[in-house]
Amino acid sequence: MSEWNIEEAERVYGVSQWGGGYFRIGEKGNVEVTPVPEDTSISIDFKAVIDEIREEGVQFPVVVRFHDVLRSQVASLNTIFRTTITEAGYNGQYQGVYPVKVNQMREVVEEIVEAGAPFNYGLEAGSKAELLTVLAMNTNEDSLTILNGYKDDEFMRLALLGRKLGRKIVVVVEKYSELLLLVKIAKELNIDPIIGVRAKMTVKGRGKWESSGGERAKFGLTITEIIKTARYLEEQGMAHCLKLLHFHIGSQLTDIRAVKEAMTEGARIYADLHKMGFPLDYVDVGGGLGIDYDGSNSTNESSRNYSMQEYVADVVYGMKEMCDLEDVPHPTLVSESGRAITAHHSCVVTEIVGEIKSNSASIDTEVKDGEHFFVKNMRELAETLDQQDNMQEVYNDASQYKEQALDAFKLRVLTLEELAKIETLYWHIMSHLHAYYANEEYVPEELQELDYSLSSQYLCNFSVFQSAADTWAIDQLLPVVPLTRMNERPEVNCSLVDITCDSDGKIDQFTVGREITDVLPMHKLKKDDPYYVGLFLTGAYQDVMGDMHNLFGRLNEVHIYSYDDDPQDFYIEEVVKGSSVEDVLSIMQYNPKAMASDMKRMIDRQISNGTFNPREAVRWNDFYENCLSGYTYLKP
């Protein structure tokens, strides 16, 4: 065995691969955070963060937010667009917007608005609730506010209210009837709207969200409808209101070719509209900029084969080339990247609270008078393992004995105890085979599964449904790594299970040494030494899409800012409490106060019949009430 060191750990866990410049394994074997990639003098040891969270008495699991990472991503995207525009000799500007649906948390949106202020970076909303939010949050008059999604009368009025307040609010028409509604209300209120049209693209994205494009896409106008829109506005004397062309071909585009194709198609539509007498100011290329969740930099579904730099270059150069060929002006470019802005800034930290060992329980297998010969056969096989030279045959025999034993048990030939002995011996043989094949180059297919069936499950104090919804819903891969001890060789291969009563509540897909595996190398649990794992890149969608399956509520949140003058380079700026049991029960229409008084009555009744003395009754009442106001997760 080669020596274990940080390089080995990096090879196994690939932290720098998916870390986007923000995460790496430090010399002490802990995950380290460099929230400003250009300034590696600021480096936060995750162990120090965990220690401080514990000192503050915040219960795990927690969401840890690195606000500087969020700011860095906003700055990167805007700066890259600016430099690329200059390098390309592009005559338009970049005016990006952040789509709040990706993470609507107030602290996140506030931070993005503030970090984006120097770039006039705006917001995008896709529903009435989000529109109410962005109206209040985006107060920068020089930035754009883009409104997508389906709209009703109230939605249009709110948008026009924003126009009255002097904001650059663009209503993007998703279907033709919305246009008629918007024109009617705009005339009634006598307010000039800024109108965009969303094109239904023929090019499809690549990856899980590819159906956002194509003819059966849910959103957007066909080319015919776009022309009808332009002509209708002309008839209504409102052609000057048509300012923006929008397209969005799907999230997490895995292949850069999709971006190139969309740019060609979109730029052609823009250019021809211009030549038809509709000079639009803006082209909005939507979202889709992908994240390398598995660190493979490939077209895997959880990865992408390009960088932010390459994406931006394809947008800017793609538009420039087409405009120059068609001899039309370069429009202002807008993009709606959400995933790429927020994914890195938050992670979920949870403690391993137990180990579920698979097939390791055993009972005494001593010879017993009158035992069934199936037990004897299996025992003989187990006792002669060292003399066997064909391990495949051992496997076949053992498997056959086990199957026969199960049938015999059902036919009332074997006793329960005999069956347990056979099972014990069987798994003893399997462990032997597993150890034997660990050093062999060729492992027969059925034996490869032993890795998984003999692996442990580490029980994590969290809910997949609340904190990693896409892992459950669409098999999204998220990087999961131990936060400490990576300078020690990991000796256990295990998958992770959560504390919900749902067998879907598990994580059994990982990237290990650049391959997708069903077990993750982890460290042996030590008594009195809590072992924490981090689920990374959860800032986009995962943070806000979770549900309350089993009544596990929102997590405690710790907001971290970096601070160069601090010895640890960070401070906790805010702790936001997660849901209490009372909170989640109230959402489900319970009345926790009434429940507490009902319980009190039931407990007090036991005083009169002598089950409790009055002091005990008070203690039990307090206990019930404390649990109601407590956290929904396990208290280790």
Residue 217 CB, shortest distance to ligand PLP, in Å, is 11
Cβ atoms within 10 Å, residue 489:
16
In this complex, which beta carbon is closest to ligand PLP, that of residue 125 or of residue 323?
125
In this complex, which beta carbon is closest to ligand PLP, that of residue 288 or of residue 490?
288
Residue 302 CB, shortest distance to ligand PLP, in Å, is 14
**Could you give the CA distance from residue 461 to residue 483 in angstroms, rounded to a whole number?**
15
Nearest residue to ligand PLP by CB is 287
Coil, strand or helix at 553: coil
Strand ranges, E, within 498-555: 506-507, 510-512, 515-517, 520-522, 532-535
In this complex, which beta carbon is closest to ligand PLP, that of residue 101 or of residue 549?
101
In angstroms, the Cα distances linking 240 to 232, 468, 528, 596, 597 are: 12, 45, 70, 63, 65
**Could you give the CA distance from residue 130 to residue 396 in angstroms, rounded to a whole number?**
61
Query: What is the length of the chain?
Result: 636
Taking phi over 0 as left and psi of -120 to 50 as alpha, with beta for the rest, 29 belongs to left
Residue 247 CB, shortest distance to ligand PLP, in Å, is 9
Residue 134 CB, shortest distance to ligand PLP, in Å, is 13
Cα within 13 Å of Cα(188), Cβ side: 11
Angle formed at CA 349 by CA 345 and CA 351, multiple of 5 degrees: 175
Q: Which helix (H) or strand (E) holds 164?
A: helix 153-164
94, with CB counted inside 10 A (0-12, 13-18, 19+), is: buried
Residue 312 CB, shortest distance to ligand PLP, in Å, is 13
In this complex, which beta carbon is closest to ligand PLP, that of residue 338 or of residue 534?
338
Residue among 106, 143, 142 nearest 123 (CA):
143
In this complex, which beta carbon is closest to ligand PLP, that of residue 159 or of residue 382?
159
**Could you give the CA distance from residue 6 to residue 24 in angstroms, rounded to a whole number?**
10
In this complex, which beta carbon is closest to ligand PLP, that of residue 127 or of residue 404?
127
Residue 140 CB, shortest distance to ligand PLP, in Å, is 20
Cβ atoms within 10 Å, residue 393:
11
Radius of gyration of the chain (CA): 30
Residue 340 CB, shortest distance to ligand PLP, in Å, is 6
In this complex, which beta carbon is closest to ligand PLP, that of residue 115 or of residue 497?
115
In this complex, which beta carbon is closest to ligand PLP, that of residue 29 or of residue 220?
220
Residue 124 CB, shortest distance to ligand PLP, in Å, is 6
In this complex, which beta carbon is closest to ligand PLP, that of residue 286 or of residue 578?
286
Residues forming the site for ligand PLP (CB under 6 A): 99, 101-102, 126, 148, 248, 251-252, 286-289, 336-340
Handedness of CA 241, 243, 245, 250 (dihedral sign): negative
Residue 83 CB, shortest distance to ligand PLP, in Å, is 21
